[in-house]
Amino acid sequence: MATRLGPKDLERWFRIVLSANNRDKLFEGHVRLPTDAKRKYGFDSEMLSRQQKDEQALHRARLESMKTISSLRISGSDWIKGWEDSCGTPLTPAHRQQLVERLDAAYRYDIELIRIVGNGGYNFEKHSGDWIDWQQLFYLCDPTVDLLTDDGSIRDRVGISPQRDRILGLRAFLGAHGFTPRH
């Protein structure tokens, strides 16, 4: 059964994570919020892991079902239309165009994965993190957000996206701010 979550739920989760002294307390359900000291909060790590694996399996199935389609023929507008149809939420042409622009990096990354899977030899188990990388690119829809990563393939996979410059390499970022890596 799907549960609808709203901004208040996400805000509460954010506060729980920030209030946790360590990871163990978070996953053992021993986090107290300053506004509610009587209750303890936490996350079910097994449930989160199961949900992530389920979503990765759906992502894999989607990529495999699309590998026969030439990714070069899927425009940003068609890609958004696919999401619109699967969500059952009709968009105005203006909203659709706004999403095309705001989700450009996620779109280009997805199209590149479809191309790679279609070429054969893509090992989903070795690249399980690709789904997470793709998910993180959705944050770039907010023009005030940059993505800091140590994964060099993300920038390559988004190609010529205008959002590419907002994907910052960790080592270059640290070097630019005076930190030198230890070897």
Spans of all domains in the chain: 7-41, 53-176
Nearest in space to 148 (alpha carbons), one of 131, 130, 171: 171
Q: What angle do CA 141, 55, 75 make, to 5 degrees?
A: 45
Residue 13, phi then psi, degrees to nearest 5: -60, -40
| The pLDDT value given to residue 180 | 80
DSSP codes, 126-182: TTTHHHHHHHHHGGGGSTT--EEES-THHHHHTTT-TTGGGEEEHHHHHHHTT----
Cα–Cα distance measured from residue 175 to residue 74, given in angstroms and rounded to the nearest whole number: 38
**Smallest Cα–Cα separation from 158: which of 124, 115, 112, 116?**
112
| Of residues 80, 138, 130, the one with CA closest to residue 106 | 138
Q: Check residue 183 and give its pLDDT.
A: 60
Q: Indicate the pTM of the whole model.
A: 0.79
* Per-residue model confidence as pLDDT tens for the chain (183 residues): 456 778 888 888 889 999 999 999 999 999 999 888 899 999 898 998 999 899 999 988 988 888 777 656 789 999 999 888 888 888 999 999 999 999 999 999 999 998 888 888 889 889 888 999 999 999 999 999 999 999 889 999 999 999 999 999 998 899 899 988 666
Give the 3-state secondary structure of residue 74.
Answer: coil
